[in-house]
Amino acid sequence: MFTLQSPFPQDLPSFFLLLSLVGFFLVLGELLTRKFGVNALVVRKVLHLGMGVVIFFIPTYFQSNFYPAVAAVLFTALGGLSLRAGLLRSLHGESENTCTDEDGPVISYGPVLFPLAFLILVLVLWDGHLWALRTSMLVMGIGDALAALVGTAFGGRHIEHMTRSSKTVEGSLAMFISSFVILSVSLFLFRESFTGGLAGKPVWELIALALLLSLVATGVEALLSYGLDNLFIPLSIAYVLYVVDINRMVTLEGFLIGGLFALLLALFSIKVKFLTNSGATATFLLGTNIFGVGGMVWTVPLLTFYLLSSVLSKLGRKRKAKFDLVFEKGSQRDADQVYANGGVAWIMMVIFSLTNDPYIFFSYLGTLAAVQADTWATEIGTMWPNPKARLITTLREVPVGTSGGVSIPGTSASFIGSLLICGSAALMNVGWINEVGILKSLLVIGIAGLFASLVDSFFGATFQAQYYDPIRDKVTERTHSTAADGSKVKNELIKGYHFVNNDLVNTLCAISGSAVAYFVVQNLAAF
């Protein structure tokens, strides 16, 4: 997939011209920042925009991807060196508009990730899909820069519960409009270059695709901090354009319908308070990929987990109220929880769309069974009348809700929840499940989910951070507590490690379920 072509001697003049042009931009940025006191954020974003335009035209001056790749490596290294040593103030210097959170200024790795994104796309898309490379990098270069500049200058309405750095409605609107214009024009201009699923499509469908991808780009920009959007905006746009064009199992119409359904699901989730703004945005992005690329076969198991687990988390609210100050987060999921529960499934979908490996589907079911099992074990275990829980490592009795505690009702529920995931896929008459056998598939996915829930309990009992809440005199997963006067009090770590929170443990749970299902099904197929 990654291809580095042989260098062409005739590309050398263009290579040195590119280095000189970028070097000129960097020197100019340093002069404006150091000598003339121009706001570092403004200079950085203007450089960002200019480089997006430069990259759009680079492919027309090179016959192979060798020297563009070398240039990307050099500028990635320069960005990393500058970040570490503070060499280029125009790239990494703080300004009065630098976004902050409760821990201080939010460091941006954008100047490192910008050329890294270009490097990845150069190695993957140079042969046959240069138009996707040029389009995605232009959207990132111009759209992301305008979002920051407009948000800084005119942003007055901040988006709550979105990300650690400040995001505004005005900035996101600028991102959406600029992305839509760029994508619409690019897809129209490059339509003669389409060779697969996009070839011959009417203009209105291409505009609809531009509209959906603009929402995707805006969601990625709004959701990510630390400059990560510089990497994931171009990768997400290029990925969609590439997969829809080359994968015959994916249709443009199906992708558009899947994206629309994901958007409606995200809006519904906010309305009924299943998700926060960040959680709904992450769900839209995840759903667009899985619904749009995987179709109903991949959609139904995911919806089974999402709907059943979301409804279950709302039931028995009075009985579970006493655990609200024990668990790290409430029933309204945020983006980190969406990543922890659905991130591995998302990755499986991406891998499958690029490889068409049928065993990946079982891995996908395994990770959904894992997070379903974990959710059901927690929800049923805390709702059950007079439950008894024991620590998985020592089997001593512990209060229900304790990290690492297991109970008979919770463990039974985890296995049943896992079976429902595989059962929902079997109802779709999936050929891969029929080949393995429905009963074998149910057993594999059920065991994968059950095993993963026990893995979750083990890490919860050993490595997950647990704190002492001095205000309420109890053990909790929360790092801070709220005093009677509204002030925050830092809780004392009494067990585990600070960085091992519930989201990380859930991610490890999801990975274990995915791995078990994948390898067991592979071995079954070998017999």
Q: Which helix (H) or strand (E) holds 466?
A: strand 466-469
Token pair in block for residue 340 = 């922890």
The pLDDT value recorded for residue 98 is: 44
**Sign for the pseudo-dihedral over CA of 244, 248, 249, 252:** positive
Query: Does residue 423 surpass a pLDDT of 60?
Result: yes
pLDDT digits (tens, 9 = 90+) for 158-208: 887 677 667 888 999 999 999 999 999 999 999 998 988 899 999 999 999
CA distance 159 to 173: 12
The alpha carbon of 96 is separated from its chain's Cα centroid by a whole number of angstroms, namely 29
Place of tokens 């987990």: 305
Confidence of residue 97 (pLDDT cuts 50, 70, 90): very low
- Between 169 and 238, residue with greater pLDDT: 238
pTM of structure = 0.88
- List the beta strands (DSSP E) in 66-201: 100-101, 104-105
Q: Determine the average pLDDT of the residues in 495-517.
A: 91
Contacts of 160 (CB under 8 A, 6+ apart): 277
Q: Angle, nearest 10°, between helix axes 40-57 and 144-154?
A: 160
**Sign for the pseudo-dihedral over CA of 267, 273, 276, 282:** negative
The pLDDT value recorded for residue 364 is: 97
Burial 191-211 (b: 16+ CB within 10 A, else e): eeebeebbeebeeeebebbbb
The pLDDT value recorded for residue 320 is: 54
Three-class SS of residue 385? coil
The pLDDT value recorded for residue 226 is: 84
Q: Based on C-alpha coordinates, what's the Rg of the chain?
A: 25
Query: Does residue 420 surpass a pLDDT of 50?
Result: yes
Q: Angle, nearest 10°, between helix axes 40-57 and 12-34?
A: 170
**Sign for the pseudo-dihedral over CA of 35, 36, 42, 46:** negative
CA distance 191 to 152: 36
pLDDT digits (tens, 9 = 90+) for 216-232: 999 999 998 888 999 99
